[in-house]
Amino acid sequence: MKQFLFVAILVIGLFVSFVVVRRGLLPIELSRATLTLVGGGATFPAPLVQAWAQGYESLTHGRVRLEYAVIGSGAGIRGFMDQRFMFGVSEAPLSEGVGFNIPLTLGDVALTYNLPSLDPSGEGLIFSSELTANLFLGKISRWNDPAIASLNPGVELPDLPIVLIYRSDGSGTTSIFTSFLSRVSPEWASRVGKGTRVRWPLGRSGEGNDGVASLVAAIPGALGYNSLAFAQLYSLSYAQIINQRGVIITPSLEGTTASAQVAIPRDGRVDLTNTPAPDGYPITGFSWALVYENLARNNSIPNRETAIELVRFLYYLVTEGQKLNSQLGFAPLPAEAQEVAIHMIRSLVWDNEALGDRVIGDIRAKGF
């Protein structure tokens, strides 16, 4: 049922170099100094960020250093808003009007569980959206409950208590999952709501995707939620979900990509959960790069030259860098989402200078 993703999650600082050039009305010159871009945020795409960094280093001959702090979406948003980061990465968007949310890849949330009596190599249990909400509301307390059994005929469900596991830290994975629950359950929406951190009705907490995965792996009867990459990394069983169209969907790269075959607004802010796409996995969302439209607003960007290099890097992520996504088990941007991302990068300015448009024009004329 699963293919294992051998990915490194131990990325606290990623250092990469690329070519420094001057843009705008100035002549294009190579800088002799090393230049550092600083970002931070989501744990889910950290392996992809690492691959992008390495790819950009190869492409640009090692001229710029990238430091990316893997601290979770909530901390990434705070670090960006506090202007400690030039850009954040999050599966939860900025509030409307605060800045740009540039789509980078798609994140999926798998419902992971530990039932030792079931064959872990077989197909996952089937959950409906209603069942999922009732499980995390605490309305169903044992694995052999008729609500689970009716969706899984022929499966010998154990008489084990359900131990719910949730994220303790501010998390984009939590944001996607609670957005899904809020969309499919009015009771969840009114009692708990959605966000990077919520007040869970019950359960035990783990920090980070790895913390939740570790607890699920250690506790018989546990039920948690993880990005699919972590579910596979920890060899966890995960559920199939009945989507809005009534189709049973197993978490996969294909189902995640299909979920985004919907209209994408020009600001990139869209909730993909409970997607109407027939083949779409319903617990999915974008990972966004967070930037200010006017890069000069961010005090962590010291000068125009650094802003130019940030624009170049962002453009690489949504164009050439997308070739690395599927190689690592991450969904590439659909064409419409890529178009929206490029539009936002083109709209970036440095004070009154149309910096994004100038940089993209130069890259398209001369390459990276």
pLDDT digit string, tens, across residues 177-189: 999 999 999 999 9
For residue 32, name the pLDDT band (cuts at 50, 70, 90).
low
Q: Calculate mean pLDDT across residues 216-233.
A: 94
The DSSP element (H or E) to which 289 belongs, if any, is strand 284-291
Residues β-bridged to residue 106: 286, 331
Give the model's pLDDT for residue 98.
Answer: 92
* CA-based nearest residue to 130, from 139, 122, 141: 139
Give the integer Cα–Cα distance in Å for 322 and 330: 9
- Domains in the chain with CATH codes: 35-105+285-366 (3.40.190.10), 108-284 (3.40.190.10)
Considering the chain, what is the average pLDDT of its residues?
A: 89
Q: Calculate mean pLDDT across residues 39-51.
A: 92
Give the model's pLDDT for residue 3.
Answer: 40
pLDDT at 34 over 80: no
Give the model's pLDDT for residue 35.
Answer: 86
pLDDT at 106 over 60: yes
pTM of whole model > 0.75? yes
Give the model's pLDDT for residue 36.
Answer: 86
* CA-based nearest residue to 188, from 225, 143, 257, 134: 134
Q: Calculate mean pLDDT across residues 223-239.
A: 93
Strand pairing report for 100-113 and 222-227: antiparallel
Give the model's pLDDT for residue 187.
Answer: 98
Give the model's pLDDT for residue 284.
Answer: 96
Q: Calculate mean pLDDT across residues 252-262.
A: 91
Give the model's pLDDT for residue 33.
Answer: 60
Q: How many CB atoms lie within 10 A of CB 266?
A: 10
Give the model's pLDDT for residue 55.
Answer: 87
Q: Calculate mean pLDDT across residues 308-313.
A: 96
pLDDT at 14 over 50: no
Give the model's pLDDT for residue 8.
Answer: 35
Residue 347 three-state SS = coil
Give the integer Cα–Cα distance in Å for 275 and 269: 15
Contact of 353 with 297, CB cutoff 8 Å: no
345-365 pLDDT tens trace:
999 999 999 999 999 999 999
Give the model's pLDDT for residue 30.
Answer: 39
Q: How many CB atoms lie within 10 A of CB 276?
A: 12
Contact of 53 with 16, CB cutoff 8 Å: yes
Contact of 73 with 91, CB cutoff 8 Å: yes
299-333 b/e with 16+ CB inside 10 Å = b?
A: ebbeebbbbbbbbbbbbbbbbbbbebbeebbbbbb
Q: Calculate mean pLDDT across residues 235-260.
A: 95
pLDDT at 20 over 70: no
Q: Calculate mean pLDDT across residues 122-148.
A: 97
60-97 pLDDT tens trace:
788 878 899 999 899 999 999 999 999 999 999 998 88
pLDDT at 4 over 50: no
Residues β-bridged to residue 48: none
| Interacting residues of 201 by C-beta distance below 8 A, sequence separation 6+ | 136, 137, 138, 191, 192
pLDDT at 11 over 70: no
Give the model's pLDDT for residue 194.
Answer: 96
